[in-house]
């Protein structure tokens, strides 16, 4: 029984955790098992191979860690770096800020490149730092692919081009928590050394699994990395991989079966089709925002996100009132503005196992809330803009052709 039950379904449009498909819920509805039996290692072996596909890697080694994205961050850092190592990291929003804070608390020498919230990572500054670093004192570039606080997506291919142009050996570490399985992501092609995501985002699972994928170069770095690590130590996993039992400690059996179902849904649709669907939903949301006469927090088209849109409200409106009203009156969950943009933006998450009609329901709810809080929106304007675009761009469902 819900603590605060409401009729119908909750319309969950925060940028994670997201809606869980019925197929995944059913797959997880099972008893515990002995993870040392032959069944769980057999399942894990197949999952590890299939997980590589969502990163678009053939050479990477994945780790399924019972943790959140924050734990996955720590895993990426402590397995590849030593205290005092210099990293370059980009502060563009709340989650990049938190990752920088973690790097600093772990004892790394963090070279912070800060931009206004709503802008992407300043890669011109990165290029100048890499060009000047002839002694290769920079050991890692740490970047958030998709900053969910502001709805900004960074260009990872450009980061790789900069490193290659100057023949710089720095590790390339990427937070793909709100991008992998939703945005175009190419671990091998872009030379990413560690990529990570969380189960509660585009994979559409419950929170509790951090998925990390390490390149051969990253695995080699573990041999010299002196950061203290126990729970997140990749070497423990690798030892059990070789033994064929796969787990250094007890996994979540239910999440493993949920992951199997989630991957099956993604592969049935086709990963490229999943990315295209997110592109449509992102475009439709931005068209709705424009029709409402409001602005996107993202300052340039090149940075817009197809998994979350941060909507800037007029100064006479507190965006927290929009989020609160949506939940209390319409059973609609929207994302709050965080830190520097608290009270200034609300966020519409459009990622995971989500379709066009679900999004249109959310946009209709947002319009009613905007009217409730005194914004002179024309009801139906955003829905019309979004549905007009979607009606012309939505293909047949691949499995039903």
Q: Could you tell me which residues are annotated as the binding site for substrate?
A: 347
Residue 374 CB burial class (10 angstroms; 0-12, 13-18, ≥19): exposed
| 61: helix, strand or coil | strand
CA 382 to each of CA 7, 13, 100, 269, 349: distance values in angstroms, whole numbers, following the listed order: 25, 16, 37, 28, 16
Specify which residues 49 forms β-bridges with. none
| 259: helix, strand or coil | helix
**370/147 Cα distance (integer angstroms):** 25
**124/134 Cα distance (integer angstroms):** 17
Q: Is residue 17 reached through a cis peptide bond, with omega within 30 degrees of 0 on the bond before it?
A: yes
Among 16, 22, 17, 27, which Cα is nearest to 258's?
Answer: 27
| 341: helix, strand or coil | helix
| 106: helix, strand or coil | coil
Tell me if 138 sits within 8 A of 171, measured CB to CB: no
**401/389 Cα distance (integer angstroms):** 21
How many C-beta atoms surround the C-beta of residue 385 within 10 A? Answer: 20
**394/298 Cα distance (integer angstroms):** 25
> Which parts are annotated binding residues?
347
Tell me if 99 sits within 8 A of 71, measured CB to CB: no
**298/125 Cα distance (integer angstroms):** 20
């Amino acid at each position: 029984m819900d603590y605060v039950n409401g009729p119908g379904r909750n319309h969950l449009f925060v940028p994670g955790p997201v809606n869980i498909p019925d197929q995944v819920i059913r797959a997880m509805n099972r008893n515990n098992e002995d993870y040392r039996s032959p069944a769980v290692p057999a399942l894990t072996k197949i999952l590890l191979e299939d997980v590589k596909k969502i990163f678009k890697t053939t050479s990477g080694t994945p780790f399924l860690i019972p943790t959140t994205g924050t734990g996955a961050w720590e895993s990426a850092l402590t397995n590849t770096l030593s205290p005092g190592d210099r990293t370059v990291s980009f502060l563009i929003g709340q989650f990049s800020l938190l990752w920088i804070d973690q790097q600093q608390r772990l004892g790394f020498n963090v070279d912070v490149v800060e931009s206004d919230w709503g802008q992407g990572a300043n890669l011109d500054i990165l290029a100048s730092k890499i060009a000047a670093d002839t002694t290769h004192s920079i050991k890692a570039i740490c970047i958030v692919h998709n900053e969910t606080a502001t709805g900004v997506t960074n260009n990872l291919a450009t980061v790789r081009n900069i490193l290659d142009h100057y023949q710089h050996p720095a590790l390339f570490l990427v937070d793909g928590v709100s991008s992998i399985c939703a945005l175009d992501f190419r671990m091998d092609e872009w030379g990413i050394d560690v990529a990570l995501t969380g189960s509660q985002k585009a994979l559409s699972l419950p929170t509790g699994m951090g998925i990390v994928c390490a390149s051969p170069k990253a695995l080699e770095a573990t041999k010299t990395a002196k950061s203290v690590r126990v729970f997140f130590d990749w070497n423990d996993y690798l030892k059990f991989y070789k033994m064929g039992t796969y787990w250094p400690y007890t996994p979540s059996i239910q999440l493993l079966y949920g992951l199997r179902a989630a991957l099956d849904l993604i592969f049935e649709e086709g990963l490229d089709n999943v990315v295209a669907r997110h592109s449509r939903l992102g475009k439709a949301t931005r068209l709705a925002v424009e029709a409402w006469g409001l602005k996107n927090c993202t300052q340039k088209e090149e940075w817009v996100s197809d998994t979350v849109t941060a909507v800037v409200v007029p100064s006479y409106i507190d965006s927290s009132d929009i989020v609160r009203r949506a939940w209390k009156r319409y059973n609609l969950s929207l994302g709050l503005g965080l830190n520097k943009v608290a009270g200034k933006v609300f966020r519409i998450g459009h990622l995971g196992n989500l379709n066009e009609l679900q999004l249109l329901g959310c946009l209709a709810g947002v319009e009613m809330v905007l009217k409730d809080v005194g914004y002179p929106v024309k009801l139906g304007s955003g829905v019309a803009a979004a549905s007009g675009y979607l009606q012309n761009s939505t293909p047949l469902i691949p499995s039903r052709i």
